[in-house]
Structure 1
Amino acid sequence: MKHIDYIIVGDGYAGLFFAHQLIKHNKSFVLFSEGRKSASQVSAGIINPVVLKKFTTFWKAQEQIDFLKDTLAEIESYTGKNYLISSPIHRIFHDENEQKLWLKKSGNEELSAFLDQKFDHLEVVKNDFNTGKVNQSARLQVNGFFMDLFDFLEKNELLIKEKFDYGKVEASEGIYKDLQFKNMIFCEGMGVKENPFFSDIAVVPNKGHHIKVKLSEPIPEDITIKKKHFLFPTDNGLHFYGGTYDREQLHHHVDESAVAQLVNGLSEIYPYDFEVEEVNFGFRPTVKDRRPIIGRHGTYDNLYVFNGLGARGILNGCYFSHSLYQFIEENIPLHEEVSSDRFK
């Protein structure tokens, strides 16, 4: 029987950022991955402190941005790469009223660090009313991040590539098959609905599609463009455009109406020919109050859940992995706003 501190079940942002906390603090662990692409792995990787519909920010935005930068620098110490792409978001304005609202909001104390007061005009794409730049926005190099971290875990014998079997968990003894564990963390996204220990948590699936397109005329490479959706270059010469939000069409195949919505949205801002080369979708685990769900099992105090990261998976996964670690190891209470107890 092998003795370890932690078992992590799940291989998205929650699982990998929590694994980083364990690496950083020299804890022994294994991470279970089925090897299927999670919603995290097909995500856009947008790091954005502003809600771009209403030009507002959100709880702990600056703290989360700062913490992410520090964490990615720590991860660089063992993967040799930093996955932060400096590619600020340029939000295309619909009309003059949006320009005025942006300028008004940029005077707010909580938004002044994020909303640039100087407007820009972009080449190639339609932006009759110019664009506003979101300072401190960026992207994560999603493929590299997951590939390199899985590679690191595998080389260090920390990765178990198999479907996790809930029936083999002896929680009161802290045993799973031939592993004796102190704590088990479930970070499964929508997979939690099959988890008998936490299937009742209040996460709701939100299906998101994106397309990868070949553009006939190049756009600026060092920015991320946003109107209805995000547009930016990928590693292989294509451009990412997406993603949609759908709580109704939850089947496990491509929804052609979502693809049509994306093609129309891109056509609105890009007046040249383009070809759709690829379509992807995933199911974001979302929560009614837009905060993660983190907590300890009601009966077994060695089982924990870390879920509900929603559309801000990178920022939420990074920042709250540290909160969960402190909760378990240092008995520091979770923020009421993210604790699973808030639904009791």
Structure 2
Amino acid sequence: MIKHVDYLIIGQGLAGSLLAWELIKQGCNIQLIDNQQENASQIAAGLINPVTGMRLVKSNNIKTLLPCAKQTYHELSQFFKQDFYIENPMLRILRNEKETLKFHQRIQDTSYLNYLKTKLKTAPESIHAPLGIVEQKQTGYLLTKKLLACLKNFLQEKQCYQATQFAYQDLQFDKAINWQGISAKKVIFCEGYQAIYNPWFKSLPFQLAKGEILTLTAQQTLPPELLNYGHWFIPLDEHQFRTGATFDNINLNTKTTDQGRSALLNTLTQVMPILGTTTLDKQQANIRPTTLDKAPFIGPHPEHNNLTIFNGFGAKGSLLIPYYSKHFTQHLLNQKPIATEVNCQRYF
């Protein structure tokens, strides 16, 4: 017997999961296919940080993106009766005179005052920061693995989740799209880095980047704030923390490396020498689906309108995906145009 759905979603990372949530809220029938391999979302730090990079640049459209992300994660927390988004100030350690100069320029711009405190902090004894510390506001992190597990259970209860390998050659085109007994109006590919193998969307200019992350336990009591010093530091409790992430666009695999671990530990102990002795609990690696112009790929294929993509959110997925899930849903249901800067057809 054929199962009829509106949308067949491929991939249960943060993109596929939040899009599925949004479409179900709007009354759509969906089926989500998950290959059950660990994806980048599951190991991601989930950081939300409005001002990033050495030049302290405010994320585009942050006044729209940030409230939407917070509202979405609050809604999910209420539904599942669990906390997923942890708001926590971030202490940014100034590493050189260029960063210091850029900070003083930014605080002259009133549009940055919601995100940066105007006075430099003196570093506590445990942190080595001779040039001072910038306190960033409206920062936090998403417990992505916990959220994805809850959404997976939700989809399973609704009988619209299927754990299986998806093969492109099994798609059959007619008036609808058919795949292994499922008939769908549209397919939405949310495959993360595996989109480079997708026969319809592999020409899009992904610029993949491998990242490694460590989870460690310290003997000392940890500072409660997030830290940013080129890498990041997230305290999970008084003693356990995560740090990352490396950036490697050459060795595109999911294997952990001694070099990655050493790089993260070296920068960590330069900033917090007291963490010279820690216990390694876990080392993880995955591949970020980053793109050439740092903007996601959203929308239909130019020749196959019923094949669509929702991908390419890179390291800012926790911030971007809630808003663009709603944006794409409005396109799918009400034919609202997709914003030019994220429309995948900019590259076709």
Deviation at 1:236, TM superposition (A): 9.8
* Equivalent position of 1:71 in the other structure: 72
**Structure 2 counterparts to residues 127-146 of structure 1, below 5 A:** 127-146=129-148
AA paired with 1:215?
A
Deviation at 1:115, TM superposition (A): 1.1
AA paired with 2:213?
H
Assess if the C-alpha contact under 8 Å between 1:123 and 1:219 holds in 2: no
| Aligned counterpart in structure 1 of residue 330 of structure 2, from 326, 331, 336 | 326
AA paired with 2:155?
L
Deviation at 1:276, TM superposition (A): 2.4
Q: 1:309 to 1:276 in 2, by over 3 A?
A: same
Cα distance in structure 1, aligned partners of 2:161 and 2:111: 41
* Equivalent position of 2:219 in the other structure: 216
Cα distance in structure 2, aligned partners of 1:229 and 1:112: 24
Q: Deviations over 1:29-75 (max 9, x none)?
A: 11111111101110011001111311111211121101101111222
- Give SS of 1:20's match: helix
Cα distance in structure 2, aligned partners of 1:236 and 1:224: 13
Assess if the C-alpha contact under 8 Å between 2:115 and 2:137 holds in 1: yes
AA paired with 1:325?
T
| Aligned counterpart in structure 2 of residue 157 of structure 1, from 153, 159, 167 | 159
Please say if 1:194 is aligned against 2:194. Answer: no
Cα distance in structure 2, aligned partners of 1:236 and 1:116: 25
| Count of residues in correspondence between the two structures | 343
- Give SS of 2:5's match: strand
- Give SS of 2:57's match: coil
* Equivalent position of 2:179 in the other structure: 176
Q: 1:101 to 1:201 in 2, by over 3 A?
A: closer
AA paired with 1:337?
E
Cα distance in structure 2, aligned partners of 1:75 and 1:57: 26
- Give SS of 2:112's match: coil
* Equivalent position of 1:271 in the other structure: 273
Deviation at 1:171, TM superposition (A): 2.9
| Residue range with higher mean Cα deviation, 201-210 or 228-237 | 228-237
* Equivalent position of 2:251 in the other structure: 249
AA paired with 2:52?
V
Please say if 1:41 is aligned against 2:48. Answer: no
Please list every run of 5 or more consecutive structure 2 residues that lacks an aligned counterpart in the other structure: none
Please say if 1:22 is aligned against 2:23. Answer: yes
Cα distance in structure 2, aligned partners of 1:236 and 1:216: 9
After the TM superposition, list the runs of 4 or more consecutive aligned residues in structure 1 that deviate by more than 3 angstroms.
95-100
Please say if 1:283 is aligned against 2:287. Answer: yes
Cα distance in structure 1, aligned partners of 2:237 and 2:37: 21
Cα distance in structure 2, aligned partners of 1:2 and 1:255: 44
Q: Deviations over 1:145-180 (max 9, x none)?
A: 112111211122121111112222113332112111
* Equivalent position of 2:83 in the other structure: 82
AA paired with 1:227?
Y
Please list every run of 5 or more consecutive structure 1 residues that lacks an aligned counterpart in the other structure: none
Deviation at 1:237, TM superposition (A): 4.9
* Equivalent position of 2:317 in the other structure: 313
Q: Deviations over 1:79-126 (max 9, x none)?
A: 222311011211012256634431320221332211111333335222
Assess if the C-alpha contact under 8 Å between 2:193 and 2:208 holds in 1: yes
- Give SS of 1:144's match: helix
Cα distance in structure 1, aligned partners of 2:24 and 2:239: 34
AA paired with 2:90?
I
Cα distance in structure 2, aligned partners of 1:268 and 1:282: 25
TM-score using structure 2 length: 0.93
Assess if the C-alpha contact under 8 Å between 2:14 and 2:144 holds in 1: no
* Equivalent position of 2:55 in the other structure: 54
Assess if the C-alpha contact under 8 Å between 1:52 and 1:91 holds in 2: no
| Aligned Cα root-mean-square deviation (Å) | 1.8
Deviation at 1:28, TM superposition (A): 1.0
TM-score using structure 1 length: 0.94
Q: Deviations over 1:11-35 (max 9, x none)?
A: 1111011012112212111111111
Cα distance in structure 1, aligned partners of 2:89 and 2:160: 35
Cα distance in structure 1, aligned partners of 2:107 and 2:297: 31
- Give SS of 2:339's match: coil
